[in-house]
Structure 1
Amino acid sequence: MADAGALAAIVVAALRQAGVRDVVLAPGSRSAPLALVLWAADRDGTLRLHVRVDERGAGFLALGLAKATGRPVAVVTTSGTAVANLHPAVLEAWHAHVPLVVVSADRPAALRWTGANQTTHQQDLFAGHVRAAATLAEPRDASFEVARLLAAATGVRSRLPGPVHLDVELVDPLVPDPAALARPLPEVRLPEVRPAPAAEPLALAPGRRTVVVAGDAPPALGRVWADRAAVASVPLLAEPSSNARSGPAALSTYRLLLTALAPDVERVVVVGHPTLSRPVQQLLSRADVELVVTTPYADWPDPGRAATTVVDDVALPAPGPAERAWFARWQDAESRTRGRLDQLLDGWPALTGAEVARHVLAALGEDDVLLVGSSNPVRDLDLAPVAARPPAVHANRGLAGIDGLVSTALGLARGSGGPVTALLGDLSLLHDANALVVGALEVRPDLRLVVVNDDGGSIFSTLEQGGPEHEAAFERVFGTPQGVRFAGFAAAAGAAYRRVDDLDALDDALGRPPRGVELLEVALGRTDRRALDEAVRALGTRV
């Protein structure tokens, strides 16, 4: 078999040639040749290397880097269970169309099933959750396999970007000659893979009462649709991470307005991946509505299986009197409902997650970046007023998990090169607490973690299991209070820490830019969460 150092150098050179600029490494023994070649490439400025000791966090760090840069990002691990720890990030990347490149070191094939240390059948570990996979043992195959995998990861031909897996068999000796590390990466030739042509936008006919539903989407796409909806006078029902929640067409109370106005909708244009609210999902499941799904990908979201047309893009019709009257109905309802919602939240006797989210959003501008966590934080942000110049908003809505969010935020900060604010729940932080530990030799980005701590899973209070008939079991199997003192977490990780208990203190803390990794804890109760949710939803009956 090939010399391990030579094979590692070819792999890294091919990744660089294929467009990879950032690589995340979780150290190990079998991956030593890859680690040393990557270290040399980082030293020479050929690539940027990011080192983390926890593979699960490393995967989500790579995910955040890919989201921020728009480029494929590789994550390298050793063999065995190390590879399996990447699975949560791989799943998120699959459903969110993120080009994540898993490079796993492996023992030679002859050692499988022999009981050799840290050796398992890991070639098909992500089967069904990667766009492509390959096993590499010889340098001569590297150019073809890397080109094939990176084309799959970026979706340049398939229009279905997502994670891929390259398993590299490395033999002893695993440590390359130091002289080889002093030389530039070897020259590799990869085929030029040209993209498939995009189709022309579908021109929609005028005369139908239309709304645009915008779900999770990249900032550039969301901002285009905010402008389009405004020009066409089409009501825009935009989730926070759609990045379309700006301009005169965006409606901050849309999920409440649907109670009264949804029956009159005749056509829905879907952008991105909407997942947040039941009223929207009910609208998207109706058989009597023309449902036009736009997607740059080969697949499309349609959980209600009701799509009428699936296209790359559409052109909204120019507004006439009927369109302007339809738009005015939504705007009038938005104005009234927004006032009632603000009055409700301002008069609520305790601090709420919705108020925290509103103030976090108000503290950020169009040059800022916000990561919003799953569960309650993203839904609280969905109740905030439309911002005049909102930040770029990211969320892991592919599978909407609460794991890996701190690592994703760190990746966004490293990838964007600027400060990032993350709005998370306490359980989300606990799921990824390891990520607070950034090695002494690694760059510590500017990241502020605003942790809304209501000591448990308060979102379940708003669901069926939060009803009084399940009160006896609720706290143990859904609420799950942990009683964690986050000041200790921050101190152990070397992160700055501050606790706030009111909005004035929150505004004061948010008024200063983050320096390094900071943890800002906002303490809330959750005994009244169900009552607040019911009061908010009741506003929809008064539209």
Structure 2
Amino acid sequence: MTRSPLDAENTTYLWARSIVEELVRCGIDTFFVAPGSRSTPLTVSVAEHPDTQVVVHVDERGTAFAALGYGRATGRPAGWITTSGTAVANGLPAVVEASVDGVPLLCLTADRPPELRGSGANQTIDQVDIFGSYPRHFVDLPPPSGNIPLEAVLSTVDEAVSHAMRVPPGPVHLNAGFRKPLEPVSNGPLPTLSKRLRRWAGSREPLMRRPTAQPSVTAAVMDVLAQHVRGVERGLIVAGRLDGKEEMEAVRSFAEHVQWPLIPDITSGLRLGSAGTAPRVAHADSILADSDAGDAWAPEVVLHFGGRAVSKRLRLLLRDAAPSVYAVVRPDPSRFDPDHRVTDHIEARVAPVCAGLVERSERQGASKWTQRWLQADTTVAETLQNGLMAADDTPRLSEPGVARLITRRIPASHALVLASSMPVRDANRYAHTDGARVSVLANRGASGIDGTIATAAGCTVGTEDPATLVIGDLAALHDMSSLALLQKHPVVVVLINNEGGGIFHFLPISDHDTVFESYFATPQSVDFSRAVEAFGLHWAQAQTLNDLASVYDEACGRAATEGTSTIIEVQTDRNDNRHIHDRLDTQCAEAVAKVLAKQ
């Protein structure tokens, strides 16, 4: 028989059990818990609830990023539970990422009661507004007391969940003070409960229903936007990060309707796999390798759907082109205009806007402008394929080659998680389009490299399927403790080890030899095989791309049938990697120049 949330040992557990019950009723049933003493009532309450899924991990930062990964994969917030003190501070990087990139997350932190705050009591810090302006909502809950109606606590939970889910979604923070005893023991009589609470306990509904409002756009705004589209010869569609298949299909269908070049960011979900008959330009970043040819690709009108794109070259093209109309469509009021070129910010869901534009415009054929983009895209794809071959006509091991191979072989059931720095950039530039169209997740809000392994683990909790993670050695070192999460949550990790920070070789500081290697490239010589062995995970090393294909397929098979994780180490050279990128850029620029010469 299911236990009533009102059936509690003391007032502390009456509150804790009711908070968890209300969260479950609001749709938050997955919790990532870092063990601690002060959070005991919350931990016991989620552990004993029949409808919760609980992931326990020793590292607070790791659990916070795992909760972030869950939110990225599902669009629903997970609960992050931690004890008081610096444990809470460890959640800041994940909270920042969730806030900047609009990922729902519920932070449920335990705290000391008011009489211990500022008293020098052990493990007590100022947790009020510890995350600054990043949470969408913050409440400092007082310690459980019979003098405070439980209805006030439940409605506070309802409001917090609403803030996490409304547009733009993001993190919320409930800071809950608790007095001892923290264990579920009898400790005096429970407060008198109202009729409303007893009705609540007998139902499955939250105390206060708060449907999530969706931003919409007026017909007048749609008419103006449609007018921008009509009769345009050089129109461009940019797809940034999109949330879900509905948005992806809406953007793809609109591009197919108007036959404007569609430039999909790797996080859009449209960069990989088939795009149907939409005029997708998958290799735009390489097409733009020759900055002197920018005028040939400068658009008159740009419609940007979703979040920010990875490509710096695309951003610079649009900055210099200064199109007469640059409309950003995203359900978020925050400004997205680093170069101050946006003329219209349409705060609305992407799918209805795309559908409205299709209704208000005639189907078009591909213009010469579109045909030029598509011809260049085909030429660049062939150039990259040839450029990544060795002299004996076999695939050459390189970081661009890894991006191309993994995106071609990744199983359709996987999500692809990309670490910041080089992996996400290489996938955006070099990914193959012949593979499966899979969800692509990357912490590109604040673009930090911390918590990436944990993010991938949290993704698998949300999807209930394995994930593939491509990560560099420094990002892996940042999150080694999260390898413990991979013991139960299957992730195939492709670890590109170039013994330092390869991305710094692309910065001007790389020309300053006296400081570059020690202070920026930060060389390391960690034996990752021993670290992986310590966590009881599978480890493999790939010496060639053919090796990588073989061990990757085997690892994906184990992840599917056994639910186990594998770390595949790929050794590359940082200096060589820079030269390969430069050579591919030169080859692509020359190939595109020939396309333009024929126009």
- For 2:538, the equivalent position in structure 1 comes to 496
Between structure 1 and structure 2, the one with the greater Rg is: 2
The answer to whether structure 1 residue 531 and structure 2 residue 579 are counterparts is: yes
* Aligned match of 1:268: 302
Partner of residue 589, structure 2? 540
1:241 matched to which residue of 2? 267
Whether the aligned pair in 2 keeps the contact of 1:216 and 1:397 (CA below 8 Å) is: no
Q: How does 1:254-333 map to 2 (within 5 A)?
A: 254-258=284-288, 259=291, 260=293, 263-286=297-320, 287-311=322-346, 312=348, 313-314=353-354, 315=357, 317-321=361-365, 323-333=366-376
Contact 1:460 1:478 in 2 (8 A): yes
Give the corresponding residue for 1:356. 402
**Match 1:102 to one of 102, 107, 124:** 107
| Counterparts of 2:494 and 2:577, CA distance in 1 | 19
Which of 466, 470, 484 is residue 526 of structure 2 equivalent to?
Answer: 484
* Cα shift at 1:189: 4.2
> Is contact 2:92-2:131 (8 Å) kept?
yes
The whole-number CA distance in structure 1 between the counterparts of 2:152 and 2:431 is 53
Under a length normalisation based on structure 1, what TM-score does the superposition of the two structures give? 0.92
Higher deviation after alignment, 211-220 or 449-458: 211-220
Where does residue 388 of structure 2 map in the other structure? Answer: 345
Q: CA deviation at 1:186?
A: 4.8
Aligned equivalents of 2:571, 2:553: Cα separation in 1? 19
1:516 aligns with 2:560: no
Q: Secondary structure at the match of 2:304?
A: strand
Shift of residue 352, structure 1, vs aligned partner: 1.0
Secondary structure class of the residue paired with 1:148: helix
Over 3 Å counting, the alpha-carbon distance change for 1:199 and 1:205 in structure 2 is same
In 1, the alpha carbon distance for the partners of 2:335 and 2:76 equals 22
User: Which residue among 79, 85, 98 is the counterpart of 2:90?
Assistant: 85
Q: 1:410 to 1:67 in 2, by over 3 A?
A: same
Q: State the partner residue of 2:441.
A: 394
Deviations 1:469-514 (A, max 9, x none): x122211111111111110011001111001110111111122322
Picking from 484, 497, 502, the partner of 1:458 is: 502
Structure 1 vs Structure 2 CA RMSD:
2.3
Counterpart pick for 2:235 among 173, 191, 210: 210
Amino acid at match of 1:225: V
- The answer to whether 1:411 aligns with 2:455 is no
- Residue pair 1:293, 1:300 contacting (<8 A) in 2 also: no
State how far apart, in whole Å, the 1-side matches of 2:318 and 2:33 are.
42
Aligned pairs (5 A) from 1:120-199: 120-137=125-142, 138=144, 139-155=150-166, 159-177=167-185, 186=201, 189-197=206-214, 198-199=216-217
Instruction: Give the C-alpha shift of residue 135 in structure 1.
Output: 1.2
TM-score when normalising by structure 2: 0.83
What secondary structure is seen at the aligned counterpart in 1 of 2:183?
coil
Greater displacement, 278-287 / 13-22: 278-287
* Residue correspondence of structure 1 range 464-475 to structure 2 within 5 A: 464-467=508-511, 470-475=512-517
Distance in 1, Cα, partners of 2:412 & 2:212: 31
> CA deviation digits over 1:432-469, x for unaligned, max 9?
11011149xxx7122111111111101111122223xx
Question: 1:388: Cα distance to partner?
Answer: 5.3
Q: Which amino acid aligns with 1:296?
A: P
Between the aligned partners of 1:474 and 1:186, the Cα distance in structure 2 is 63
Could you say what secondary structure the match of 1:391 adopts? coil
Q: Of 52, 55, 70, which residue of structure 2 is paired with 1:50?
A: 55
- State the 1:336 CA deviation: 1.7
Structure 2 CA distance for partners of 1:39 and 1:207, relative to 1, 3 Å:
same
Residue-pair matches, total? 527
Distance 1:167 1:359, change over 3 A: same
The 2-side partners of 1:261 and 1:89 are apart by 37
Q: Is the contact between residue 466 and residue 530 of structure 1 (CA under 8 Å) also seen in structure 2?
A: no
- 2:14 alignment partner in structure 1: 6
| Selected match of 1:39 from 36, 47, 53 | 47
Q: 1:19 to 1:194 in 2, by over 3 A?
A: same
CA–CA distance in 2 between the matches of 1:78 and 1:132? Answer: 20
Amino acid of the structure 2 residue aligned with 1:344: G
After TM superposition, give the deviation of residue 319 of structure 1 in Å.
4.4
C-alpha displacement at 1:56, in angstroms?
A: 0.2
**For residues 219 and 235 of structure 1, what CA distance do their matches in structure 2 show?**
21
Candidates 394, 416, 429, aligned match of 1:370: 416
Which deviates further from its counterpart, 59-68 or 311-320?
311-320
Q: For 1:274 and 1:121, locate their aligned partners in 2 and report how far apart those are by CA, in whole Å.
A: 34
Q: Distance in 2 between matches of 1:366 and 1:324?
A: 34
Structure 1 residue aligned with 2:147 = none
Residues 494 and 205 of structure 1, relative CA distance in 2, 3 Å threshold: same
Q: Summarize deviations over 1:378-420 as a string: whole Å, max 9, x none.
A: 1111212323532111111111111111001001111111111
Question: Which runs of no fewer than 5 residues in structure 1 stay unpaired?
Answer: none
Q: Which moved more, 1:495-504 or 1:242-251?
A: 242-251
State how far apart, in whole Å, the 2-side matches of 1:86 and 1:509 are: 35
